[in-house]
Amino acid sequence: MNALLSVSDKTGLIEFAHSLHAFGVKIISTGGTAKTLADAGIPVTKVSDITGFPEVMDGRVKTLHPKIHGGILAVLNNDEHVKQMQDHGIEKIDIVVVNLYPFEQTAARDGVSYDDIIENIDIGGPAMVRASAKNHRFTTIVVNPAHYSTVIAHLLTDGGVPVSFREQLAMEAFSHTAQYDARIAGYFAQHLGRTFPDETAIPLRIDQPLRYGENPHQQAVLYGTFTSIFRQLHGKELSYNNILDIDAAARLSLEFEEPTVVIVKHNNPCGVGSGSHLVEAYQKAFATDNVSPFGGIIAVNRPIDVAFANEVHSLFAEVLIAPSFDEDALAILAKKKDRRLMVVDPQKLRNASRSDLRSVAGGFLAQESDAILYNQADVRVVTTIKPTDDQRDAMLYAWKIAKHVKSNAIVYASHDRSLAIGAGQMSRIDSARIAVRKAQDAGVDLTGCAVASDAFFPFADGLLQAAEAGAACVIQPGGSVRDEEVIAAANDKGLAMMFTGTRHFRH
């Protein structure tokens, strides 16, 4: 039995090779892998000894040879294949252990040159992986060191690796090379400034299995690097819905520089508040809606201390998210065993996504992430009455929140807190009415506040609803064919109004 070992990731390599050698397997290897094995005292045959041809072109060509690929691809129950192996002195290669040049890690390094990145595109490795996976009935392919022990166990117990396991390894091998090629294609697309190339693949690994999806009858899994951005300190496992809400809450918290608390329920903010410290901010956020926060998600943009932990501990919140937790605060909050406590890396979150994907029948929609708030050059006051500095601050606060509310979105706010939020209605006037009703239910006075609309008012009725509720100023994108009618209504009601020129639909 022969095994070809050629790996960049040498995790577990020595132990695995020792076990193969002890089982009587002849080990064939290349370059740095061969040296590592020889230095460990493991007998190794170089690929060049098999091919009769030296490694050339700085190692670019070494395994691309019939005596290697013939040994990998031979169909052993095909008499003609076996005869050709005998005629040309080709030995069967039963096990191929390959992982690829570290292209992703190289491309991510600061200051790395274009030439170095290109040199870390593996050619021979993917060819061997794909050949072995294709011929999995007769060749075992291993791309993940985690499987070394299982392969050895099968050799010791069964005398070989069963076909059922080889099929699993083949599936993993094709996924491995597909992901590798996708990352290379992604690098070239970025290098060439192509946000949306004509063909694309999404290179993702399972980050975390999930018990189920939005509902118990739906299977689900988390792909990507979510757990490198959000780290769980305490509580039961995250659900599909938790993950959506965690992302929504944490992203909204990034919009604010001052200490801010965001409360989210079902992917919509139900309260946002800012203050000199988190307790003050939380009290403002909770006052917006003192019903919806139960079972919700709370995100903050400052470390959680004991004072804040004591303030929120009595509330049934599914998740608390912060850049960090003081030890004493963690001890308080961890008393509720099911409450999830998450640490977020704000910088990683800011850099996490350049595009949004949504599944549709037969494919995906892709778009750039909504990473801007507005373009300052496009913002203009359109009413006779000009807003005061305080009103500008309140409009901006409302606008930050409206960006993260499901359309149609209406947000009433002061300069440091949300006052009422209307989300996700089929008409903008209904969102405005719902927000007003929620403010009344919560005992919140809207007199003198700002109101933000994520898109233009198609008619004056939504603006009139805001005026009747007590709003003193309005911020919206503008762009309606009836803008002049809406501006006239604002002037008539004594409202100051700004157009941003930027829409924030969120479906």
The predicted-structure confidence for 454-496, as pLDDT tens digits, reads as follows 999 888 888 898 999 999 999 999 999 999 999 999 999 999 9
Q: Burial-class residue 369 by CB neighbours within 10 Å (0-12, 13-18, 19+).
A: exposed
In three-state secondary structure terms, 238 is coil
Task: Report the predicted TM-score, pTM, of the whole model to 2 decimal places.
Answer: 0.84
411 and 490 both lie in a single domain: yes
Identify the bridge partners of residue 304 per DSSP, sorted by sequence position.
325
CB 309 within 8 A of CB 234: no
Same-domain status, 160 and 237? no
SS (H, E, C) 112-181: CCHHHHHHCCCCHHHHHHHHHHHCCCCCEEECCHHHHHHHHHHHHHHCCCCHHHHHHHHHHHHHHHHHHH
Domain assignment of residue 287, given as a range: 209-350
Q: Are residues 71 and 130 in the same domain?
A: yes
Residue 359 falls inside a structural domain: no
**What confidence score (pLDDT) does residue 48 get?**
83
pLDDT band at residue 102 under the 50/70/90 scheme: confident
**By the 8 A CB rule, do 88 and 67 touch?**
yes
**Residue 215, token pair as written in the block:** 């509902």
Q: Report yes or no on 506 lying in a domain.
A: no
Asked if pLDDT for residue 343 goes beyond 80, the answer is: yes
Which amino acid is it at 304? I
For residues 230-243, average pLDDT:
95
Number of helices (H), then strands (E), belonging to the chain: the values are 20, 21
Q: Could you report the per-residue pLDDT of 257-296, keeping only the tens digit for each?
A: 999 999 999 999 999 999 999 999 999 999 999 999 999 9
pLDDT of residue 62 exceeding 80: no
Mean local confidence (pLDDT), 12-36:
91
CATH number of domain containing 256: 3.40.140.20
Instruction: State whether 344 and 223 are in the same domain.
Output: yes
Is 90:66 a contact under the CB 8 Å cutoff? yes
Which pLDDT score, from 0 to 100, does residue 356 have? Answer: 87
The per-residue pLDDT for range 352-375, each reduced to its tens digit, is 877 888 889 988 888 888 989 988
CA 408/CA 56 separation, integer angstroms: 63
Does the residue 318 lie in any domain? yes
Check whether residue 181 and residue 219 sit in a common domain. no
Between 205 and 403, the more confident residue is 403
Rounded distance between C-alpha atoms, residue 468 and residue 473, angstroms: 12
Which residues pair with residue 268 across a beta bridge? 265
pLDDT for the residue numbered 328: 96
Contact 485, 381 (CB under 8 A): no
- Answer yes or no: do 179 and 242 share one domain: no
Catalytic annotation present for 134: yes
Check whether residue 23 and residue 150 sit in a common domain: yes
Of 10, 18, 81, 134, the catalytic one is 134
The token pair that represents 447 in the structure block: 């007199």
Please give the average per-residue pLDDT across 136-154, as a whole number. Answer: 94
95, 114, 341, 343 from 231: Cα distances, Å: 38, 33, 8, 5
- d(CA 440, CA 25) in angstroms, rounded, equals 78
Q: Are 44 and 184 in the same domain? A: yes
Residues 58 and 150 in one domain: yes
Q: What distance in Å separates the CA atoms of residue 93 and residue 184, rounded to the nearest whole number?
A: 29
pLDDT bracket for residue 167 (50, 70, 90): very high
Which contacts of 186-194 are long-range, i.e. CB under 8 A and separated by 24 or more positions? 187/103, 187/107, 187/117, 191/114
* Range in 63-77, 158-172, 333-347 with the lowest mean pLDDT: 63-77
**170 and 232 fall within a common domain:** no
Tell me what percent of the residues of the chain surpass a pLDDT of 70.
100
Rounded-to-integer distance, Cα 388 and Cα 7, Å: 66
The catalytic position among 10, 266, 313, 336 is: 266
Residues 6 or more apart whose CB falls under 8 angstroms from that of 451 comprise: 398, 410, 411, 412, 413, 432, 466, 469, 471, 473, 474, 475
Mean pLDDT of 333-340: 95
Q: What CATH code is carried by the domain that includes residue 63? A: 3.40.50.1380
Q: Is residue 256 pLDDT above 90, yes or no?
A: yes
Burial (CB < 10 A; 0-12, 13-18, 19+), residue 349, is middle
Looking at residue 196, what is its pLDDT? 82
284 included as an active-site residue: no
Q: Is residue 200 part of a domain?
A: no
